[in-house]
Amino acid sequence: MSPFSALSPSMVVRIKAGLFAGTVIATGSLLPHMAHTARAADLDALEEQIAHIQAEQRALQKALVSVQQQIAAHRATHGGEQGSGHHLGHNATSTLHAVRDDAELEEPREEEPGLAMPAHAHAMAMNHHHATGPDAQPIFSGVHDAPDVESVVGHRAEDVVARLADNNVGAHGRETVGAQAAGALGDHGVFRLGPVTLILGGFLDAAAVEENRHTATGTFNYWQDIPYRNESRYHTDNFEGSARYSRLSLMARGNVDAHSTISGFFEMDFGAGAATTDAYESNSYAFRMRQAYLAYDNSDLDFHFLAGQAWSMLTPGRIGITPRQESLPETIESSMLAGQTWARQLQFRFVKDFLQHRLWAGLSIENSATLYDTTGFTDNSGAVTLPNGKVATISTNGTGLTNPAPFSNEIAPDVIGKIAWDPHWGHYEVEGILHFPHDRVATLGSGHNNTSIAGGGGGSMILPVVPHKVELRMAGLAGVGIGRYGSVLLPDATLNAQGEPAPLPSIQATGGIVAHPNPLLDVYGFFGYQAAGRRYFSAGGSAYGYGNPAYNNAGCAIELSDASTCTGNTRSVMEATAGAWYRFFKGHYGTMEAGVQLAYSRRSAWTGQGGAPDTSLSEVFMDFRYLPFQ
């Protein structure tokens, strides 16, 4: 029997009309949005509309249940007496309007950038697009199971980025190679473990390079090893391929309260060499840590804290000062680009944002590691003999669980400050760094310590020439004693005649354009440059320091000449590169993409006796990647 059979015909018409009208009106408000491309702003509007429709549907459902209950009560009390239908209809209609009024009061408010929508609406939206959409969420079983979280990190896998102020640059697309390099998470591998959400990321990678010089560095360019003509490997081509840069990441996240979230992030690959690495047979590269950090975010205080190994805060970003949103080139080469500013190292980062997440200020205390050049000196594992017979200790080889590479003598961490601005068009940053090279000079029975002050400043910008389609990127850093923060790894310092650290002037810059013609294709072109100044002296007829014009470069153009006739301290390195990525499979099984890149690099040396040698490197990179969680 129909639940409406006990009602008067007029009451039935009113209830059915209300149900129909409510659904049509709510649905009609959604239709104009269907005509738009699914951009990030449109998706937010659609989510709000969906939540509104679902709230209306719940209200109508409550009204229907109330009517059914009143029908049952009426039958039990009056036994189906005539004339009571009108009274029941009035009560049911009042109930319907009352519930609809409550639903309107609960209608999702327009969100501030960076804040999650109300929990009841958010939970419904999450159930709508879980696992495949750009805002994938862990699914909650019901409205009351969803924590009412307003933190800027909310429920999303990619935390703050989706709901920050719209700068027409936007967050890294999950599938873009820039995001993959920065540590993007997936939207398929999302699990709940009690109150903690686990999110998987990473990819399987098969990359190769064909180059006109034998550098023996694979897809990781070490530009200072590009040979001059005096080496036979200058005259030979080289091919090398590997899967060692395949990557795996995991994030654990929990909501502390309505405004704060804690999270931990791990990212690993196989980029490290090991004693068992055998390029002729097993190619057994070692598992290594790329990133491992914890983070705390509080939207009530607009405060963010990070501790652990992550991309240095000097690395250019895309939105605010946000981990995993570093602006990294889409290149296949693992060293990214000559002149690119970056490091991954231990840090304690404190960030505050203002003006609804448009203005950000950050301070980061980061691990220091001075990169010395000791050309002309006798260097015995970091103990450098000076012309006056004293010994300057600048580093020592690692022991115990560390490898035998030198670890520099440091007195203090690097101090880095950054301000980021996200107006309605573009992303802009200014930054500065202080660094403190330190050593000890001693002779038999006595000695003294030396500390220099180094540092510099720079900035970056992303200009959305065609929003979300074409963007122009520029970044640069200049100062003294900061060469290691560039991809070329030019030295930070050398020593003066007294053995004190002598920081080297340094400059690095990149520029490029990135286009996304369609969701399957990314095209890019970049230019990068990095240069180091010189500090030198001569004593007792010998030359010391970096870039000394008395150094012998006469044999740099003669194959198999003595190495002492080609000092060749690097003055500058430039690179021009272009490439593209194409995603040819995409679905619930993940994403498969292929990339190709052409690169040309040139290394120039400081002038010495016999001239200023230079050399070049031309490369073709190829790559296939499978992203199971994208």
Q: What is the pLDDT of residues 421-446, one digit of tens each?
A: 999 999 999 999 999 999 999 999 99
Statement: residue 116 has pLDDT above 60: no
Q: What value does the mean pLDDT take over residues 445-463? A: 96
Does 511 or 120 have the greater pLDDT score?
A: 511
Whether 212 and 617 have beta carbons less than 8 Å apart is answered as: yes
- Burial tier of 232 (Cβ tally within 10 Å: 0-12, 13-18, 19+): exposed
Does 127 or 52 have the greater pLDDT score?
A: 52
pLDDT given for residue 86 in this prediction: 44
Statement: residue 604 has pLDDT above 90: yes
Name the residue with tokens 């390029």: 279
The listed range with the strongest mean pLDDT (79-93, 142-156, 214-228) is 214-228
pTM over 0.85: no
pLDDT given for residue 417 in this prediction: 98
Whether 76 and 206 have beta carbons less than 8 Å apart is answered as: no
Residue 32: strand pairing partners: none
Cα end-to-end distance, the chain, whole Å:
50
Residue 448: strand pairing partners: 441
pLDDT given for residue 222 in this prediction: 94
Q: How far apart are CA 517 and CA 47, in angstroms?
A: 26
Whether 483 and 473 have beta carbons less than 8 Å apart is answered as: no
Please, what's the b/e burial string for 97-114 (b: 16 or more CB within 10 A of its CB; e: otherwise)? eebbeebeeeebeebebb
DSSP state letters, 190-224: EEEETTEEEEEEEEEEEEEEEESS----TTS--GG
Tens digit of pLDDT for each residue in 610-627?
999 999 999 999 999 999
Name residues whose C-beta falls within 8 Å of residue 334's C-beta, 6 or more positions apart in sequence.
207, 218, 219, 220, 221, 245, 271
How many Cα atoms within 13 Å fall on the side-chain side of residue 292?
5
Give the chain's length.
Answer: 630
DSSP state letters, 413-469: -EEEEEEEE--SS-EEEEEEEEE-BEEEEEETTEEEEEE--EEEEEEEEEEEEETTT
CATH class (in words) of the domain with range 196-627: mainly beta
Domain segments of the chain as ranges: 9-174, 196-627
Statement: residue 541 has pLDDT above 50: yes
Share of the chain above pLDDT 90, in %: 60
Tens digit of pLDDT for each residue in 47-102?
677 767 877 777 777 777 777 777 766 666 654 444 444 444 444 444 434 433 43
Mean pLDDT over each residue of the chain, to the nearest integer: 82
Statement: residue 131 has pLDDT above 50: no
- In this structure, of 88-97, 282-291, 327-336, 385-394, the range with the lowest mean pLDDT score is 88-97
Give the pair of three-digit tokens for residue 505: 């002037």
Q: How far apart are CA 189 and CA 25, in angstroms?
A: 37
For residue 235, give the DSSP letter: G
